[in-house]
């Protein structure tokens, strides 16, 4: 176990992510995203971020709407049931303020797994024959960013090769991403950095291992020895986690297995109000600027948070209204 | 009236019809890759009717799931209860690439006559009129499953000669880097397992010719005619093989959809028409 004290504040965690960083997150679409830290990045006016996400979600939309992101490299963005596409990403692609590099979901997963294993690229037969592999749609290349000057950006978006071993046809090689910082939103982290995720772990083990700096924002910091009594139940080893932050309800408005459901009303309201930049700016004035995490929770209020709270037997809320 | 009888016009809505048509594409014992929305209801409906042993895989990492309550998303904790294992995306996609998946349900904004589907942009990719959600797992599942079924809104602007962007591969695809059209089977090599097997639109059910990979109309939904559906396609639709009308939901299926699977009307409204 590392000797240093890994515990820091939300503000200190956000300050570790410099302008221009390559950044990724835990979670999946509208689940277990480190939103409290994302709000803090917006407050600190971070700029030119290069998000490399296995899939996007509200965190992408919030950061892109706030002008924090220059490049978004991923496969999907939206709010699932609560907003059918990423209106902020769509708007900023249209105005040329955001560069989007498209891969497929499996490609992003395999690329992140390659990075986590210290391998230079992933190999797959997914998405053969699609425009994902169209060389004319290499957007970082078109922008002149694949000249090797930035060591984090690969010289090619893809390379094609035939299976040299079994004659199995065409394969596609995609570069392992170079991640500066990964931020996780998890249920529990030990004082020494051991992470225990409950429920599906999405691509959290891969992103934690791939990043140079990994920050775990947890609902609770627990004694390290408590987690080490059942090490088989742990998800990410202590040595991959550099900093820990204790922050209850940190994933709101996204959901967290065993803790709280997605706040669908919040996401629907965001989606409807942020189609325009003026709408986003007004929304951010209301929910982000001039707030901190506690005042944000106060603004949400007890009735709302209690309605989202998960039932501990089934791990989701049994009172949240989901349908019509 | 028995529960196995077909409901009459006016007793079900279009979403019910699509859900039941999708459910009937599933065979028992199959491994099915589930996305969010109406397909999830359709698969759980099959699980409760003719395919009790189907094995459900959720893209976010739940393996052989049997959810007690309808999940709103594949990342939802409701996926996990009753599952064989909860893991992550690497497992879900490795299982797919390894060849375990028989059937996947997918959606799309545009489709062409070879089953190529676009979920990425409307208009020129480099100057898009509208950026959509992106590929997600659509091309991955469509690459690796033995069969894929697309569920789509039927509008003339969506059934096109050439999609704006090939997000998901059909039966005739492009070989990169040169970009020449080739049959899917030629390109996929060891990974070839099949491809799009049906499109269930809001107008009818379409299938693909085994030899040419070209789409044809199989059944018309109630109130639709083959000629009317052909009018709703920008390509020349083959209507010479129409087998009849899309079967209506049974009373049992309607009961399961509205009282058991989606009582909260998350994906399927309860209105008789709509």
Q: Which residues are paired to A204 by β-bridges?
A: none
Which residues in chain B are contacts of A165 at CB distance < 8 A?
none
Which chain B residue shows the shortest CA-CA distance from A107?
A: B140
Q: Are B159 and B105 in contact (CB under 8 A)?
A: no
Domain count, chain A: 1
User: Which residues neighbour B40 within 8 Å (Cβ) at sequence distance 6 or greater?
Assistant: B34, B70, B71, B74, B267
Among residues 76-105 of chain A, which lie with CB inside 8 Å of chain B?
Answer: 76-78, 80-81, 84-86, 89-90, 93-94, 100, 102-105
SS3 state at A255: strand
ipTM: 0.97
Whether A3 maps to a domain, the answer reads no
Local confidence pLDDT in tens for the 324 residues of chain A: 445 699 999 999 999 999 999 999 999 999 999 999 999 999 999 999 999 999 999 999 999 999 999 999 999 999 999 999 999 999 999 999 999 999 999 999 999 999 999 999 999 999 999 999 999 999 999 999 999 999 999 999 999 999 999 999 999 999 999 999 999 999 999 999 999 999 999 999 999 999 999 999 999 999 999 999 999 999 999 999 999 999 999 999 999 999 999 999 999 999 999 999 999 999 999 999 999 999 999 999 999 999 999 999 999 999 998 877
Could you check whether the bond before residue A69 is cis, i.e. omega within 30 degrees of 0?
no
Query: What's phi and psi for A280, nearest 5 deg?
Result: -65, -45
> Which 8-state DSSP code applies to residue B259?
I
Whether B48 maps to a domain, the answer reads yes
pTM, to two decimals: 0.97
For residue B34, what pLDDT is reported? 83
Whether B3 maps to a domain, the answer reads no
Q: Which residues are paired to A221 by β-bridges?
A: A189
Which residues constitute the domain of residue B140?
Answer: 14-261
Question: In the 3-class helix/strand/coil scheme, how is A176-225 assigned residue by residue?
Answer: CCCCCEEEEEEEEEECCCCEECCCCCECHHHHHHHCCEEEEEEEEEECHH
Residue B143 sits at the chain A interface (C-beta within 8 Å): yes
Angle between helices A105-116 and B89-98 (to 10 degrees): 110
Question: What's the angle, vertex CA B9, arms to CA B3 and CA B10, rounded to 5?
Answer: 95
Whether A321 maps to a domain, the answer reads no
For residue A1, what pLDDT is reported? 44
Question: Tell me: the pLDDT tens digits for B83-120?
Answer: 999 999 999 999 999 999 999 999 999 999 999 999 99
Integer Cα distance of A83 and A5 in angstroms: 40
Domain count, chain B: 1
Whether B270 maps to a domain, the answer reads no
Whether A313 maps to a domain, the answer reads no
For residue B273, what pLDDT is reported? 58
Which residues constitute the domain of residue A82?
Answer: 10-308
Whether A231 maps to a domain, the answer reads yes
Q: Are A51 and A72 in contact (CB under 8 A)?
A: yes
Which residues in chain B are contacts of A94 at CB distance < 8 A?
128, 131
**Closest CA of chain B from A121, distance in Å:** 15
**Closest CA of chain A from B175, distance in Å:** 5
For residue B271, what pLDDT is reported? 85
Whether B268 maps to a domain, the answer reads no
Whether B117 maps to a domain, the answer reads yes
Whether B209 maps to a domain, the answer reads yes
Question: In Å, how far from its chain's centre is CA A221?
Answer: 21
CATH code, domain with B223: 3.40.1080.10
Whether B269 maps to a domain, the answer reads no
Integer Cα distance of A188 and A223 in angstroms: 10
**Given B137, B140, B173, which is nearest A129 (Cβ)?**
B173
Most A CBs within 10 Å: which of B72, B117, B270, as the mutation test of the A interface? Answer: B72
**Given B81, B93, B136, which is nearest A314 (Cβ)?**
B81
Residue B112 sits at the chain A interface (C-beta within 8 Å): no
Angle between helices A58-65 and A35-43 (to 10 degrees): 0
Whether B127 maps to a domain, the answer reads yes
CATH code, domain with A259: 3.40.1080.10
Q: Are B208 and B223 in contact (CB under 8 A)?
A: no
Which residues in chain A are contacts of B75 at CB distance < 8 A?
27-32, 200, 202, 255
SS3 state at B271: coil
Q: Which of the residues in chain B have pLDDT under 50? A: 274
Closest by Cα among B185, B210, B79, B193 to B140? B193
Integer Cα distance of A42 and A217 in angstroms: 17
Integer Cα distance of B77 and A258 in angstroms: 8
């Amino acid at each position: 176990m590392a000797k240093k004290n890994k515990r820091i504040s939300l503000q200190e965690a956000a300050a570790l992510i410099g302008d221009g960083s390559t950044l990724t997150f835990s979670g999946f679409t509208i689940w277990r995203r480190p939103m409290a830290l994302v709000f803090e990045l917006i407050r600190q006016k971070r700029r030119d971020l290069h998000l490399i996400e296995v899939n996007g979600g509200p965190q992408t939309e919030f950061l892109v709407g706030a002008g924090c992101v220059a490049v978004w490299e991923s496969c999907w963005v939206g709010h699932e049931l609560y907003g059918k596409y990423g209106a902020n990403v769509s708007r900023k692609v249209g105005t040329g303020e955001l560069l989007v590099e498209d891969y497929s979901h499996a490609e992003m997963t395999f690329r992140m797994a390659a990075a986590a294993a210290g391998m230079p690229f992933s190999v797959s037969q997914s998405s053969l024959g699609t425009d994902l592999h169209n060389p004319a749609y290499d957007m970082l290349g078109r922008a002149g960013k694949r000249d090797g000057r930035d060591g984090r950006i690969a010289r090619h978006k893809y390379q094609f090769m035939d299976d040299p071993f079994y004659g199995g046809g065409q394969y596609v090689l995609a570069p392992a991403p170079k991640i500066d910082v990964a931020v996780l939103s998890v249920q529990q982290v030990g004082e020494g950095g051991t992470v225990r995720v409950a429920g599906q772990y999405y691509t959290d083990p891969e992103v934690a291992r791939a990043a140079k700096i990994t920050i775990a924002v947890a609902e609770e910091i627990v004694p390290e020895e408590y987690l080490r009594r059942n090490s088989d139940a742990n998800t990410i080893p202590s040595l991959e986690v550099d900093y820990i932050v204790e922050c209850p309800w940190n994933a709101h408005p996204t959901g967290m297995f065993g803790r709280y459901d997605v706040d669908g009303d919040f996401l629907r309201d965001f989606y409807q109000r942020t189609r325009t930049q003026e709408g986003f700016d007004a929304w951010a004035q209301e929910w982000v600027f001039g707030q901190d995490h506690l005042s944000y929770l106060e603004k949400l209020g007890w009735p709302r948070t209690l309605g989202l709270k998960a039932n501990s037997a089934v791990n989701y809320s049994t009172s949240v209204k989901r349908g019509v | 009236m028995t529960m196995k009888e077909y409901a009459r016009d006016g007793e079900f809505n279009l979403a019910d019809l699509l859900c039941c048509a999708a459910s009937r594409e599933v065979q028992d014992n199959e491994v099915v890759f589930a996305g969010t929305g109406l397909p999830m209801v359709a698969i759980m409906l099959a699980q409760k009717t003719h395919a009790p042993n189907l094995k459900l895989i959720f893209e976010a990492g739940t393996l052989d799931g049997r959810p007690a309550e309808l999940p709103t998303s594949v990342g939802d904790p409701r996926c996990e209860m009753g599952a064989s294992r909860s893991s992550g995306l690497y497992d879900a996609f490795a299982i797919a690439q390894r060849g375990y998946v028989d059937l996947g349900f997918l959606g799309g904004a545009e489709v062409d006559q070879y089953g190529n589907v676009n979920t990425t942009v409307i208009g020129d990719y480099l100057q898009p009129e509208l950026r959509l959600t992106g590929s997600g797992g659509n091309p991955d599942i469509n690459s690796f499953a033995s069969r894929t079924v697309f569920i789509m809104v039927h509008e003339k602007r969506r059934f096109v000669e050439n999609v704006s962007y090939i997000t998901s591969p059909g039966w005739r695809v492009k070989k990169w880097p040169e970009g020449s059209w080739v049959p899917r089977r030629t390109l996929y090599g060891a990974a070839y397992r099949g491809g799009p097997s049906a499109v269930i639109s809001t107008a009818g059910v379409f299938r693909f010719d085994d030899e040419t990979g070209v789409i044809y109309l199989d059944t018309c939904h109630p109130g639709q005619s083959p000629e009317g559906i052909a009018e709703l396609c920008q390509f020349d639709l083959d209507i010479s093989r129409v087998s009849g009308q899309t079967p209506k939901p049974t009373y049992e299926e309607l009961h399961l959809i509205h009282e058991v699977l989606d009582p909260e009307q998350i994906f399927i409204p309860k209105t008789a028409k709509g």
